[in-house]
Amino acid sequence: MKKVGKEIMNHFQSGVSYMIPLVTAAGLLTSIAVIFGGSNVWDTTDTFWGVVRMIGQTGLDFIVPMISGFIAYSIADRPGLAPAFICGMIANEMGTGFIGGMFTGLAVGYLVNYLKKIPVPNQIITLKSLIIIPFLSTGVVGFVLWYVLGAPITAMNDGLTSWLNGMSGADTALLSAILGAMMAVDMGGPVNKVAYAFGTASFSSGSYGASTAMLLAIAIPPLGMFLATLFNKKLYSDEERDNAKTAIIMGCVGITEGTIPFAVADPLRVIPSIVVGSSIACGLNGFFGITHPTMLSTIMAIPFTSNVLLYSLSILAGGIVTALMVNVLKSIKFRKAEEEHN
């Protein structure tokens, strides 16, 4: 069972990886339109910024088909791509959100894999791959989605969106803290991808709490490790201090992976620290109820948040907690090593 779960997570991670360039392009266009055009851009294409918003929103509308198609591609290679994309479009039209995209991607992928294994006469092998498999997989999954599972998934997605929009105070803080921890725990890995997909889906549906938390978490690990090397230089080599400078620059432009060398070198102390720091930053921000209607990450989003001061305080708190925690843990490690040596 664990093997199946891991396999599904790998396919899901692959789908999200292919989706990221789409989200980056469409999200930035939408963000820029909202920043410069104001809230009116959602209602018109009569202005320049309204057109920019429309282009970005068109891209965001492809999130569900894209994730569906490439989950199926990861499972069944090219034969799964087109049927899953079509079923993902149906899921998107039904309002199932990314949950529907996940379902259609997995369903089409595994169905196509099964159909590929069925032996047929040599005379129709070409027809099998070009016509039979796409026809059957699209039809079967499409009908199941439309007549059986689409409505429950849509209701689930609508309920989740309503819940997110209605959250405040401690509830928002808890969700934000969880998303922050998920973003930090494997820095670009499968858990991070789940949180990223959830935040992106929330943004595309007009709910900015989850997307703000997800994007806020991106810079906390590199900021924390940069501060850690400043607070206690003796705990880090010259190379690590140089890596920290690179990491903070990467973090400012929305790349968490600059922290990976630290996590690889000392996972038992670095990973718990960045998870706690990211949770605190996102949890505080969620408690304060601060959002921004953009897909800009952490530092770049500061001017567009609903409260610049409290948003900045959340970032600083997360970075300082990360730095202090990792330095305390490393100090304990070095102290024990010295005692054993003596």
Cβ proximity of 28 and 75 under 8 Å? no
According to the model, what pLDDT value does residue 196 have? 82
According to the model, what pLDDT value does residue 35 have? 76
According to the model, what pLDDT value does residue 281 have? 95
Lowest mean pLDDT among 46-60, 74-88, 105-119, 186-200: 186-200
Q: Around Cβ 38, how many Cβ atoms within 10 Å?
A: 11
Residue in the structure block whose two tokens are 């089409």: 108
- Per-residue confidence band for 147, with pLDDT thresholds at 50, 70 and 90: very high
Lowest mean pLDDT among 57-61, 144-148, 154-158, 172-176: 154-158
Give me the chain's average pLDDT, please.
85
Q: What mean pLDDT comes out for the span 250-262?
A: 80
According to the model, what pLDDT value does residue 23 have? 78
Q: Phi-psi region for residue 187, left (φ > 0), alpha (ψ -120 to 50) or beta? A: left
Q: What mean pLDDT comes out for the span 59-63?
A: 85
Residue in the structure block whose two tokens are 């850690």: 228
Q: What mean pLDDT comes out for the span 186-190?
A: 72
Lowest mean pLDDT among 187-191, 200-204, 215-219, 226-230: 187-191
160-174 pLDDT, tens digit each: 667 666 655 667 888
304-318 pLDDT, tens digit each: 898 999 999 999 999
Question: Angle at CA 272, nearest 5°, toward 326 and 339?
Answer: 50
Query: pTM for the complete prediction?
Result: 0.71
9-21 pLDDT, tens digit each: 788 878 878 887 8
317-341 pLDDT, tens digit each: 999 999 999 999 988 877 776 666 6
Cβ proximity of 235 and 327 under 8 Å? yes
23: CB partners within 8 A, 6+ apart: 59, 60, 63, 200, 295
- Per-residue confidence band for 277, with pLDDT thresholds at 50, 70 and 90: very high
Burial class of 329 by CB neighbour count within 10 A (0 to 12, 13 to 18, 19+) = middle
